[in-house]
């Protein structure tokens, strides 16, 4: 398969991919891996990270923190019937008792009567009642309560800090085990991001990227400010549809995508693509095709790689859709559409000029050395529809570029001289295009650095025919 593709693929690690023989078959089709700490213990997650690094140490690893959530704590599945009454109690660890409904929320005594407990996005609804000082729940919508399911409260705000001790412990664990980013659940506002960054500084984790998951009503209200301060966002479309209707959800995603592109941040979307469910899979594939033309940067597979029976088939199917011919959408941005700062920098002008040149002169590829991530990120935001081949000595920047559409990042040694960028770029182009490039194809090399007098780094562009590089 081609070693370069448009949008990026994020795969969730869990039992379906927990064998090295399975993961090795698809690792070249995956850009980033998600480790979800809501499921499994640290030893299992450590095993996953070790396996990923062993097979390909260049992959970006995102740690998914739990955030301020409440989950069920029954050790076995519960079958609840409508109008059934069941005691509600706190339990930090799983309890083996089918006659009590356990949750890991310590202040259960503060939950008022008539509060609605929503389990697993509305699968089960329980109304809280108080009988003789004992907290009880009356089942309003019956179903099977699975193990370790998420709980929302309607009519009550849980007394939980946004960055709680479990998350701090998980973040420290992630830094120790070389994760590159964290995706933070149940973000409400920009202040939550600031709290996390403050904590990261205290544990030498300034290099960790912070990705905000948009899945609460507060996050929707504060979406613009969250995008501004986070390093990217993940749209949980299923939860979005619970919070609003389909028309509004589509508008929210569209606006968020434009905002992310304006300031050069990746936008990621959860997707479900169970190819075993043919009717649903067909509909989901059409949605993915639409979202590719909407310039989503990355698609995150959750259940499809975590617990699906055919994770390899799911990854291959998504890969094929992403690379399908005819899905490309032309863009026609002006500089004011994509400007991070009130005062545009030289790098902004150069990136925009490179974008216009790629459109007007039929450029085959853009080569972009970078000391940070800024210029390739700006180019990615403009969506020039040709590969952006980025070279960097900065490992943090390299991992971040793995989330950005159209960017193929390469880590180079600290001793590498930027004056040799043409030669290494030419060899990479040969590999990426697998010989499908002519001697007269045009290649654009973009140099942009705020550091003047740095050897090999200039501010400007160079245009070559492939044969002349």
The pLDDT value given to residue 420: 85
Q: What percent of the chain has pLDDT over 70?
A: 89
| Per-residue confidence (pLDDT) for residue 56, from 0 to 100 | 95
The pLDDT assigned to 275 comes to 43
pLDDT band at 240 (very low <50, low <70, confident <90, very high): confident
Q: Which two tokens stand for residue 390?
A: 């980025």
pLDDT at 130: 83
pTM metric for this prediction = 0.83
pLDDT in tens, 374-388: 899 989 988 888 899
What is the tens place of the pLDDT at every residue in 277-290? 555 556 666 666 66
**Residue 31 reports pLDDT greater than 80:** yes
Q: pLDDT value at position 276? A: 41
pLDDT, tens digit, 9 for 90 and up, residues 186-209: 888 999 999 999 999 999 999 999
Mean pLDDT of 54-82: 90
**DSSP β-ladder status, 267-271 and 298-301:** parallel
Using the predicted structure, report yes or no on whether residue 413 has a pLDDT greater than 60: yes
Q: Is residue 44's pLDDT more than 50?
A: yes
Over 70: is that where the pLDDT of 328 sits?
no
State residue 1's pLDDT score.
41
Q: How far apart are CA 402 and CA 386, in angstroms?
A: 16
Q: Which whole number is the average pLDDT over 442-456?
A: 72
Architecture of the CATH domain 335-468: 3-Layer(aba) Sandwich (3.40)
Does residue 208 contact residue 179 with C-beta atoms inside 8 Å?
yes
Mean pLDDT of 420-424: 87
Q: Has residue 172 got a pLDDT over 60?
A: yes
Fold: same for 70-154 and 335-468 = no
Does pLDDT of 337 surpass 80? no
| Range with the largest mean pLDDT of 286-295, 329-338, 348-357, 456-465 | 348-357
Q: Predicted confidence band at 368 (pLDDT cuts at 50, 70, 90)? A: very high
Tokens, residue 423: 């030669």
Q: Can you give the residue ranges of every domain in the chain?
A: 8-67+162-322, 70-154, 335-468
Tens digit of each residue's pLDDT (9 = 90 or more) over 129-158:
987 778 999 999 877 888 888 888 887 878
Q: What is the mean pLDDT of the chain?
A: 86
8-67+162-322: CATH, from 3.40.50.720, 3.30.70.100, 3.20.20.60, 3.30.499.10:
3.20.20.60
pLDDT of residue 159: 77
Homologous superfamily assigned to 70-154: PK beta-barrel domain-like (2.40.33.10)
* Out of 212-221, 339-348, 418-427, 451-460, least confident range: 451-460
Confidence band, pLDDT 50/70/90 cuts, at residue 436: confident
pLDDT at 408 over 90: yes
Q: What share of the chain is helix, strand, coil (3-state, %, to 5)?
A: 40, 25, 40
Rounded CA separation 227/205 (Å): 20
Per DSSP, the residues of 128-187 read: EEEETTEEEEEEEE-EEE-TT-EEEEES------SS-HHHHHHHHHHHHTT--EEEETT-
Tell me the two tokens of residue 188: 């409400």
Over range 34-58, report the average pLDDT: 88
Answer left, alpha or beta for residue 3, where phi above 0 means left and psi between -120 and 50 means alpha.
alpha
Average of pLDDT values for 262-282? 70
Number of C-alpha atoms within 13 angstroms, CB side, residue 256?
31
Determine the average pLDDT of the residues in 410-437. 87
């Amino acid at each position: 398969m081609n070693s370069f593709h448009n949008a990026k693929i994020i795969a969730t690690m869990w039992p379906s991919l927990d064998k090295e023989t399975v993961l090795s078959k698809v690792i070249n089709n995956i850009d980033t891996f998600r480790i979800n700490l809501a499921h499994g213990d640290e030893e299992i997650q450590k095993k996953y990270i070790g396996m990923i690094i062993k097979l390909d140490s260049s992959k970006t690893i995102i740690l998914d923190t739990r955030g301020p959530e409440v989950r069920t704590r029954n050790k076995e599945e519960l079958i609840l019937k409508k109008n059934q009454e069941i005691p509600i109690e706190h339990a930090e660890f799983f309890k083996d008792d089918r006659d009590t409904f356990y949750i890991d929320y310590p202040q259960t005594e503060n939950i008022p009567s008539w509060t609605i407990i929503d389990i697993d996005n509305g699968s089960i609804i329980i109304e809280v009642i108080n009988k003789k000082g004992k907290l009880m729940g009356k089942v309003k919508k019956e179903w099977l309560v699975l193990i370790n399911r998420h709980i929302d409260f309607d009519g009550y705000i849980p007394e939980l800090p946004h960055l709680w001790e479990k998350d701090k412990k998980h973040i420290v664990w992630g830094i120790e085990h070389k994760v590159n980013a964290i995706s933070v659940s149940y973000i409400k506002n920009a202040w939550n991001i600031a709290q996390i960054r403050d904590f990261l500084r205290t544990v030498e984790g300034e290099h960790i990227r912070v990705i905000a998951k948009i899945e609460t009503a507060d996050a929707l209200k504060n979406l613009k400010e969250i995008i501004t301060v986070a390093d990217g966002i993940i749209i949980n479309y299923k939860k979005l549809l619970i919070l609003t209707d389909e028309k509004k959800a589509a508008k929210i995603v569209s606006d968020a995508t434009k905002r992310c592109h304006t300031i050069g941040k990746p936008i990621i979307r959860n997707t479900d693509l169970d190819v075993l469910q043919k009717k649903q899979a067909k509909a989901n594939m059409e949605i993915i095709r639409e979202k590719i033309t909407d310039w989503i940067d990355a698609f995150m597979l959750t259940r499809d790689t975590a617990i699906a029976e055919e994770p390899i088939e799911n990854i291959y199917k998504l890969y094929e859709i992403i690379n399908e011919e005819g899905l490309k959408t032309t863009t026609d941005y002006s500089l004011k559409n994509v400007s991070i700062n009130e005062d545009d920098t030289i790098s902004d002008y150069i990136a925009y000029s490179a974008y216009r040149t790629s459109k007007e002169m039929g450029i085959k590829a853009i080569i972009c050395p970078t000391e940070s991530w800024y210029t390739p990120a700006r180019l990615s935001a403009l969506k020039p529809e040709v590969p952006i081949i980025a070279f960097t000595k900065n490992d943090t920047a390299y991992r971040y570029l793995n989330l950005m559409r159209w960017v193929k990042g390469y880590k180079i040694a600290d001793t590498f001289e930027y004056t040799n960028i043409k030669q290494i770029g030419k060899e990479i182009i040969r590999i990426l295009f697998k010989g499908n490039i002519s001697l007269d194809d045009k290649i654009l090399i973009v140099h942009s650095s705020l550091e003047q007098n740095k050897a090999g780094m200039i501010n400007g562009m160079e245009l070559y025919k492939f044969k002349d590089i």
